[in-house]
Chains A and B, each alone.
Chain A
Amino acid sequence: MNTAHIRAIGLLLLSVQLLNSTQEAAEEKLVPLEIELPKPMFIGTPQNLRVPNLEKPLGKPRPPFLAPMGTVNLALGRAVTSSDDFPVIGELEMVTDGDKEAPDGSFVELGPFLQQVTIDLGQPCELFAVVVWHYHMQPLVYFDVIIQIATDSTFVNNPVTIYNNDLDNSAALGMGTDNHYVETSEGRLVDAQGTIGRYVRLYSNGNTSNDLNHYIEVEIYGRPVE
């Protein structure tokens, strides 16, 4: 037997061995790999939103609100009065200055408990929507949010309430059935349903963080009555 023969026999034996091991592998049961995934990251105590009747988050932007052609923000630059003439922070003019950003210097802080701001539109108007931004740097919920429209500045002659989430009538303006909601950067849009009025009044009674009341901006969409 020469060297060539010896090599040929060696190759044959190796091939048989490889074939056997492949067959063994094919017969071996396959199991899923146990791959350990990363651990969850820890967070601190979440913010408390102690609010009954709290609206569940939509998880998406608010759908567009449709209004008649020619509807504009009538509140821009209009005079604002309040139950708190001396705000803790800011000026009442900030409510209608068109600045909707949340940082310091953009909001007015009114005193604790029930407070209101009233916007005089200068003439009777047909109103379609009121959008209010209280404060959206944090996910806060404001209590007793009541929005009224009236033709007189005293709100005595049949004011129309377009939003009221005062569930226990603590503001003594009637019990509301609307939801509490979390403040967001898109503000709260309330359908004014074409109500005619010159004055718009917005109440609030503290929030989930403290008893103070804040307004970044109020927009009132409508058109003057011809």
Chain B
Amino acid sequence: MLSRQVFNLLIALFILVAFAVRIPDLDRKPMHTDEAVHAFKTGELLEGHSFRYDPIDFHGPLLHYSAWISARLHGVRQYQDLQPRHLRLATVVYGSLLIAWLWALYNVLPPRALLVSAALFMISPALVYYSRYFIMETLLVFFHLGFTIAIMRYLAKPTTGWLVMGAACLGLMFATKETALLYLLAAGLGLIATLTLAPNRSTLLSRLKMAARPWQLPLFFIICALVFAIFVSAFGSHWESIITYLQGYGTHIQRGLHDNTHVKPWYYYGRLLIFSHWDQGPVWSEGLILILGTIGAVHFYRQRNSTNTPQVTAHNFLVWNTFLGILLFSLVPYKTPWNMLGFLAGMILLAGQGVLVLFQKYSAHRRRLVLAGVLFLGFGHLAWQMGAATTRYDASPLNPYVYAHTSHELERLVTGLNQVAAVDSAGFGLPIQVIAGGHDYWPLPWELRKFSQVYWWAAIDTGIAPAAVILGRMTANDRDSVEAVIAEYVYSGFAPGKKIMYTSLFEAPIALRPGVSLAAFIKYDLYNRLPVAVKSDP
């Protein structure tokens, strides 16, 4: 058995490498719509506004508070000075520190299995990709893992310390995102299954009864509610946010069941993790983790019949919690790829045991050598995917973790508009009108954050004169030509001889994301003052 000191040292090393693979070039990938919306909220915090919960397209405040710390450490105090790296560093920290939870499992799971899990946490392409993504899920996974581990530790030895830790983690999960409820449901059902389906359940229950104290359960819920309330109420500034948050579950349940935009088949997550390949792109798979995790889960489940230690109860809870997490998230019709991270983390914990089981099964030297070779190749493929997902394919539809992501092409638009601001006397006060049905112009409010005079329109307001630059969203479903609509707006309001000529800023529309483009129009005199490089297509 590995000594505690060596184990601690190796886990620390894994954490350092996890940071090293997550941190580089955080500005590289364009900001997703969701990231941009979260950035806007964080910007409001930075500029002195307090968080107020809004159930429509918002979640808990923890991501914003975490990013606020990161931004302030970078010396940023205004929304317009924020850069993606300031925001994404917050999720990088949580994504890397996931591994630190394994220190708490030294006495519950075999240390060698934990080291394998640490390596997988370090290189799992999905975990690394979303650690560099300014959304709530990495935080949710971090606290969920803490919550799971606290329950495992409590089942192994019921102490108040782990109960408090579990309650705090659960409170922080709810303060992060509403989907915490699904994790709580999986954990609750998992606990019931662990305790009722154990062959030795009477011994198990009497042991827990003896060790547990009657005040511990109320204490658990009080701490959880307190932690949640402190953050969601913005440290007491908006107590009404707690009620709004709870009422918001109606909206989220409706969306989960009826919003067709993200409805996927039940096997969506499984297929995404096992095998993804489109056209000339590479083959993506985290199937190795699923296979090893299944081996580990079967081992733990079988083990409950043969041994009766507190650790076995903890192992079984891990199995049930992970299995029910997969089941619940697969049953909800609303699916986005980042929702799989919670149970992927559970599978990684089980996968560590899976590797140990395989090495125990194949004891002959040659077989072990072959097994080590296969695992080396498998881990190598995971590491390669991790690198590819975060560099060449970071916003490509050939990457399974990319979901409605902003196109790199948008950088051209931003560069172009910066050039326009440079030649116009108004500078970043240059008026820009953005017209997009359904207010579907995100992440432009992030990309144009330096411009102070931007009109965000769902439809043209003819009561306002045309601005120097007009951007129009184009989709395949547009019934009317965007060019014609803008031309009508620009030319109809002026008498003959007084009309101001406009032209296209770029030779072709700019892709906002797959299926959505932007047409950019600019006053002709301003256009003529621009350098040629801005106007021509690359």
Contacts and interface: CB of A to CB of B under 8 A. Distances in A.
B279 A167 contact: yes
Contacts of B484: 60
Contacts of A45: 33-34, 261-262, 336, 403-404
Contacts of A167: 279-280
A3 to B, nearest CB: 55
Contact of A56 (B261, B263, B517): B517
B264 interface: yes
A83 interface: no
B479 A40 contact: no
A10 interface: no
Given A38-B456, A60-B481, A139 B262 contact: no
A40 B439 contact: yes
A205 B508 CA distance: 31
Nearest to A39: B456
Q: Which of A46, A53, A138, A183 has the most CB of B within 10 A?
A: A46
Interface string B505-526: 0001101011111010000000
A185 B426 contact: no
B477 interface: yes
B396 to A, nearest CB: 8
Contacts of B458: 41
- Helix, strand, loop or mixed for chain A's interface? loop
B103 interface: no
Interface in A26-83: 32, 34-35, 37-61
A196 interface: no
Interface string B439-455: 11110110000001111
A168 interface: yes
B440 A43 contact: yes
Interface string B452-482: 1111101000000000000010111111111
B514 A51 contact: yes
A184 B477 contact: yes
A210 interface: yes
A57 B260 contact: no
B58 interface: yes
Contacts of B445: 39-40
B509 A56 contact: yes
Interface in B20-73: 33-34, 37, 40, 56-58
Contacts of B513: 46, 49
Q: Which of A34, A48, A60, A183 has the most CB of B within 10 A?
A: A48
A51 to B, nearest CB: 6
Contacts of B472: 59
A48 B279 contact: no
Given A43-B37, A43-B440, A209-B264, A182 B476 contact: yes
A40 B442 contact: yes
A52 B57 contact: no
A84 interface: no
B438 interface: yes
- Please classify how large the interface on chain B is, using the bins under 10, 10 to 19, 20 to 34, 35 or more: 35 or more
Contacts of A48: 262, 336, 403-404, 514
B279 A58 contact: no
Contacts of B75: none
A43 B265 contact: no
Given A34-B452, A37-B454, A52-B279, A42 B477 contact: no
Contacts of A60: 478, 480-484
B373 interface: no
B476 A181 contact: yes
B477 A182 contact: yes
B479 A139 contact: no
A184 B57 contact: no
A213 B404 CA distance: 22
B478 A185 contact: no
B494 interface: no
Interface string A99-136: 00000000000000000000000000000000000001
A191 interface: no
Contacts of B477: 136, 139, 182, 184-185
Interface in B487-538: 508-509, 511, 513-517, 519
Contacts of A46: 33, 261, 404, 440, 442, 513, 516
Contact of B455 (A37, A43, A182, A183): A37
A42 B440 CA distance: 8
Nearest to B268: A210
Contact of B397 (A38, A40, A50): A50
Nearest to B425: A32
Contacts of B480: 60-61
B443 to A, nearest CB: 10
B514 A53 contact: no
Given A47-B261, A48-B403, A185-B477, A53 B37 contact: no
B250 interface: no
A58 B515 CA distance: 10
Q: Which of B260, B280, B397 has the most CB of A within 10 A?
A: B397
A57 B517 contact: yes
B515 A57 contact: yes
B429 interface: yes
Interface of B: 33-34, 37, 40, 56-58, 255, 260-265, 278-281, 336, 397-398, 400, 402-404, 426, 429, 438-442, 444-445, 452-456, 458, 472, 474-484, 508-509, 511, 513-517, 519
24 contacts: A32-B426, A37-B454, A37-B455, A37-B456, A40-B456, A41-B439, A42-B58, A42-B439, A45-B261, A45-B403, A47-B515, A49-B515, A50-B514, A51-B514, A51-B515, A52-B278, A54-B515, A59-B472, A60-B478, A60-B484, A139-B476, A141-B515, A182-B477, A209-B260
Given A48-B403, A54-B515, 12 more contacts: A37-B456, A44-B261, A46-B516, A50-B397, A50-B514, A54-B397, A54-B514, A57-B474, A59-B517, A61-B480, A138-B261, A211-B265
Q: Nearest 9 pairs between A and B by C-beta?
A: A60-B481, A59-B474, A182-B476, A41-B439, A40-B456, A40-B445, A48-B404, A49-B514, A49-B515
